[in-house]
Structure 1
Amino acid sequence: MNEFFASFSLNEIFKATMVLFAVIDIIGSIPIIIKIKETSGDIHANRITLVSLVIMIAFLITGESILMLFGVNVESFAVAGAFVLFAMALEMIMGIELFKETPIKGKSVGIVPLAFPIIAGAGSMTTLISLRAEYEMVNILIAILINMIIVYATLKLTRRIERLLGPGGVAILKKVFGIILLAIAVKLFASNVTQLFQ
């Protein structure tokens, strides 16, 4: 226990928090959250945040072992996540429907794609592996918790943000962040696909 708290570092917590915040980009995901609300009527912030937290902590602790159980390496996982993000970006930019789903009601709304792959997706998981090599476990865990608090608050305040922006603002936000999401997908794909052929 003493060793656990001896590893506590505000500097590491701040750096890890900022890195995860940039990767998760929950603010940039507001258009996706609004889109899911339009389709399903509501989302369950508690459940989405909890599922995201569990996925990220589990992956932090077990790392690549989880993927190896299924015979999948981190690069393959990242490329698969890039395809999903790419498709979602096209929906936002072009106004087309690629994910033809029956509207879902109940507690499972938003688990996919919000909890995975938006919040706890390939980008977050590969980042956690990188952070694990640089920072102490306790500091990364705290950084994850801080980000989950931000995620929860954003999910809860989405309706207010939507009213503040109005229909025109939401449409513009979707296009802008759709392009950003597309760029993230391309970068995630490009940085991992070459590893698959080595």
Structure 2
Amino acid sequence: MSGLDFQQFLSAFIVLFAVIDIIGSIPIILDLKQKGRSVNALKATLIAFALLIGFFYAGDMMLRLFQVDIASFAVAGAFVIFLMSLEMILDIEIFKNTGPIKEATLVPLVFPLLAGAGAFTTLLSLRAEYAPINIVLALILNMVWVFIVLKLTDRIERMLGKGGIYVIRKFFGIILLAISARLFTANITSLIEQFQALK
């Protein structure tokens, strides 16, 4: 689990691609631009990457501080990813952004669209299964993709159309649902074994 593995990298990339869901965020980005709220693609990408990579490494220390192991966090993360998948599949809003900051590049673009609770949770949940190098490389490639989409938002929206974006969002909603189920089943067993060992 410690070395570079293409299958792990690809799996981590797909999971993060679905969670970050920059394609699904295109209508929101277009709406922000129409309201005169400028979006700086490079600034948004760099800040989001810094937040995510920082949490990826520091988050583990935070868990140890609260005496929470990765398996426990992965199970909790499975529930968050499950709720995110329901949002995408059922067109409902579970995670509401009610913060006071109105500047578009930081809020809502960087947080919570790019570097939100779901992405933070997913990164640490993936650590329960994949080598860190594969997750970091997958995150870097996702951030490159995010930058490209932010730069070409109008063109991608015209190319895919509202229907295409809608279908992609539904598809990745189902992928996330399956991922949440796999994360839960893969880690709940070790938690049960730990609980039984305490008896």
After TM superposition, the score normalised by the length of structure 2 is: 0.67
Equivalent position to 1:157, from 135, 149, 152: 152
Q: Is the 2:45–2:147 contact (alpha carbons within 8 Å) kept by the matching residues of 1?
A: yes
Whole-Å separation in 2 of the counterparts to 1:165 and 1:146 = 21
Question: How many Å apart are 1:68 and its aligned residue?
Answer: 0.6
User: For residue 196 of structure 1, what is the aligned residue in structure 2?
Assistant: 191
| Structure 2 residues without counterparts, runs of 5 or longer | 195-199
User: For residue 105 of structure 1, what is the aligned residue in structure 2?
Assistant: 102
Q: What letter is aligned with 1:24? A: L
* Distance change in 2, residues 1:123/1:95 (3 Å): closer
Alignment of 1:1-198 (within 5 A): 12=4, 18-25=10-17, 29-34=21-26, 36-37=28-29, 45-58=41-54, 61=57, 64-102=60-98, 105-106=102-103, 107-110=106-109, 111-118=111-118, 120-128=119-127, 130-132=130-132, 144-197=139-192, 198=194
Work out the percentage of aligned pairs sharing the same amino acid.
41
Whole-Å separation in 2 of the counterparts to 1:169 and 1:127 = 29
Deviates more, 1:178-187 or 1:19-28: 19-28
Whole-Å separation in 1 of the counterparts to 2:73 and 2:90 = 26
The RMSD of aligned alpha carbons is 3.7
* Distance change in 2, residues 1:70/1:90 (3 Å): same
| Structure 1 residues without counterparts, runs of 5 or longer | 1-10
Question: How many Å apart are 1:178 and its aligned residue?
Answer: 1.4
* Distance change in 2, residues 1:35/1:51 (3 Å): same
Q: Is the 1:60–1:125 contact (alpha carbons within 8 Å) kept by the matching residues of 2?
A: yes
* Distance change in 2, residues 1:28/1:188 (3 Å): same
Deviates more, 1:141-150 or 1:158-167: 141-150
Question: How many Å apart are 1:196 and its aligned residue?
Answer: 2.6
Q: Is the 1:17–1:147 contact (alpha carbons within 8 Å) kept by the matching residues of 2?
A: no
Deviates more, 1:156-165 or 1:39-48: 39-48
Q: What letter is aligned with 1:180? A: I
Q: In the comparison of the two structures, how many residue pairs are matched?
A: 182
Q: Is the 2:55–2:120 contact (alpha carbons within 8 Å) kept by the matching residues of 1?
A: no
Question: How many Å apart are 1:56 and its aligned residue?
Answer: 4.5
Q: Is the 1:92–1:175 contact (alpha carbons within 8 Å) kept by the matching residues of 2?
A: yes
Q: Is the 1:33–1:114 contact (alpha carbons within 8 Å) kept by the matching residues of 2?
A: no
User: For residue 197 of structure 2, what is the aligned residue in structure 1?
Assistant: none
Q: What letter is aligned with 2:69? A: N
Whole-Å separation in 2 of the counterparts to 1:26 and 1:140 = 14
How big is each residue's C-alpha offset from its partner over 1:34-82, in whole Å with a ceiling of 9 and x where there is no partner?
A: 3643776666544543344334443565573231112222122222222
Q: Is the 2:53–2:136 contact (alpha carbons within 8 Å) kept by the matching residues of 1?
A: yes
